[in-house]
Amino acid sequence: MADTPKPLDGLELDVAIIGAGVGGLYALYSMREKLGLNAQTFEMASGVGGTWFWNRYPGCRVDTESTVYTYSFDLDMFQNWDWSERYARQAEVLAYLNAVADKHGLKRSINFNTKIARAEWDDAAKRWVLTTADGQTVRARYLIESVGLLSSSYAPQFPDQDKFKGQILVASKWPEQGADLAGKRVAVVGTGSTGIQIITQIAPTVGHLHVLQRTAQWVVPLGIGPFPQDARARIKLDPVGYRDWALNTGTVFGFVESTTPALSVSEEERQDRFQKAWDKGNGFSFLLETFADLTVSAEANKTATDFIKSKIDAAVKDPKIAAMLTPSDYYARRPLAADGYYETYNRANVTLHDVKAQPIERFTETGLVVGGQEIALDIVIMATGFDAVTGNYLKIDTVGRNGTKLADHWQEGPRSFGGLTIAGFPNLFMVFGPFSPFTSQPLVHEWQVDYFTDLIDAAERSGGVVDTDPAAEEDWVRICQEGLAGTLFQVTDSWINGANIPGKPRTSMWYMNGMANYMVEMNQIRDAGYRGFRIA
């Protein structure tokens, strides 16, 4: 009997898109509705949403204002989507992305539960040949990868992990049906953005919470509250103007970055600015709206950390715990924000462990051994981060022209042109690929997708193949490396520079000159006939 044909096998497309998160959904819309191409999306999850599909852990919400954590292409939805809070919760973001996908009929072009394992460029046929994890083959003229900046989960394995009889939960792969933490003995490993959201959320309801902190973090309040009515009125009145205003800033967080050096003002004014930012909430705002040089000058940075330290000392009753919670490095990781974070450590049911001084040794059947002492636990939550920026690209075995593997091309660290394309990998477009601007994402995703939609449109009219000049890629990487070199982000270990993953090359992965400058540079490239791209 002949084999039943597999449903995808042999599919021929104009455009294959990997990922149905914020960027992937808009890429699908643009390819299908704007360019009229035959496009389909391949998505590992069973639904849309990308990071918002997987990250269902307690306390998960955006820490970018909902005003800019949105699409703008559907002006009606941009003006009228009724965000309930200033910082939307995960469920609300996921509902919004589903509503966008439903309104525009996107789901009919998405293959869910489908993992792309391999992508190889066939130079003779001018096609990408994609292979799914279950061995089916799809061919497409263009390949768009919107695979997520922070979506390749990282969870270290500790010795004897398999012996633990309790539950181990990875925050970024949280069970869809939820997890019952009430009254339980819970450990949280990790105190990044994920960890601090979980810690502040679950502390009041768990039996006992053990926070296993390796590196203390500078945390400011987030300022949770209702959606700001003044911003809503502005967006309703002039949505395009609001969007363009937001894009024409450095980080697209809904504020304009300061141009004032911290030490150029009096001590009184400096304290006043920090206090106002503290009262308003938001990590990016505290770091960038207060002063211009906190990320580049150690002296300026110290004025901010002295301020936050004074807040830690005031909030935390036990001076020993306050000292454990005070970082020793710069305020130059991805800025964190959570309401009441430090106060959580005053609770009788919360214990802070310094696992740098007293490392996590191993699991037992009933808990974890930390610094020689067993902590009895029902649940261990790994909030240990992501193989950021490059992780998901490299999980796909990608082969470009002349058999060049992406893993080899990126061996010393990633390379790209404009965060969008890679030399020798024709017709491959990335949404928020390495060396994209260091910004909040949805509006920037839209901008990048619009940019390469125009580029694909140009290619369609002149041969249909876009490659990247290796010299242009080299220049872009150099500009980006110079941009990071001047900042304290480079000398402070975090996922921003790859230092969080053992063995990962430590490198720049960002365009650090801000979105406004990025748009100018990319528009100049377009206006010079897409200089640096090779359309053939």
Which are the contacts of 314, defined by CB distance < 8 A and separation ≥ 6? none
Neighbouring CB atoms inside 10 A of 253's CB total 26
The answer to the question of residue 67 lying near ligand N01 (CB under 6 A) is: no
Cα distances (Å, whole numbers) of residue 382 to 40, 53, 190, 471: 34, 18, 7, 42
Residue of 189, 262, 324, 509 that binds ligand N01 (CB under 6 A): 189
Q: How many CB atoms lie within 10 A of CB 256?
A: 14
Asked if 456 interacts with ligand N01 (CB under 6 A), we say no
Q: Give residues 85-144 in contact with ligand N01 (rule: CB under 6 A).
A: none
Nearer to ligand N01, 28 or 368 (CB): 368
**Joined tokens for residue 352:** 């802070």
Beta strands in 146-227 (DSSP E): 167-170, 185-189, 208-213, 219-220
Q: Which is nearer to ligand N01, 127 or 334 (CB)?
A: 334
Q: Amino acid identity of 302?
A: K
* 63 contributes a contact to ligand N01 by CB under 6 A: yes
Closest contact distance (angstroms) between CB of 383 and ligand N01 is: 5
- Contact stretch for ligand N01 (CB under 6 A) within 125-133, 161-169, 230-238, 384-392: 384-392
CB of 153 to ligand N01, least distance (A): 9
**Residue 192 interacts with ligand N01 (CB under 6 A): yes or no:** yes
Closest Cα to residue 193, out of 434, 438, 495? 495
**Among 29-37, 194-202, 368-376, 397-405, the segment contacting ligand N01 (CB under 6 A):** 194-202
| Residue 211 sits in the site that holds ligand N01 (CB under 6 A) | no
User: In Å, how far are 25, 303, 431, 536 from 452, measured between CA atoms?
Assistant: 15, 42, 9, 15
Structure tokens at 293: 């040089």
Beta carbon of residue 292, minimum distance to ligand N01 (angstroms, whole number): 22
CB-nearer residue toward ligand N01: 426 or 437 = 437
Q: Map the footprint of ligand N01 across residues 316-355, applying CB under 6 A.
A: 334, 355
- Please list every residue from 386 through 415 that binds ligand N01, using CB under 6 A: 386
Report the residue from 41, 193, 416, 507 that binds ligand N01 according to the rule CB under 6 A. Answer: 193
Q: Which of 150, 443, 477, 515 binds ligand N01 (CB under 6 A)?
A: 150
Spatial CA neighbour of 78 closest among 225, 228, 226, 242: 242
Site for ligand N01 contains 215 (CB under 6 A): yes
Q: How far is the CB of 213 from ligand N01 (least distance, A)?
A: 7
Q: Does 291 bind ligand N01 (CB under 6 A)?
A: no
Whether 35 and 454 have beta carbons less than 8 Å apart is answered as: no
Q: Which is nearer to ligand N01, 253 or 274 (CB)?
A: 253
For ligand N01, which residue of 146, 152, 285, 500 counts as binding (CB under 6 A)? Answer: 500
From the list 155, 120, 161, the residue with the least C-alpha distance to 138 is 120
Scanning 193-201, 397-405, 476-484, 525-533 for contacts with ligand N01 by CB under 6 A, the matching segment is 193-201
Euclidean distance between CA atoms 400 and 179, whole angstroms? 43
By the rule CB under 6 A, 159 interacts with ligand N01 = no
Separation in Å, CA 13 to CA 17, 373, 424, 518:
10, 58, 21, 31
**Of 147, 172, 205, residue with least CA distance to 19:** 147
Would you tell me which residues interact with ligand N01 (CB under 6 A)?
Answer: 62-63, 150, 156, 189-195, 197, 214-215, 334, 355, 360, 383-386, 495, 500
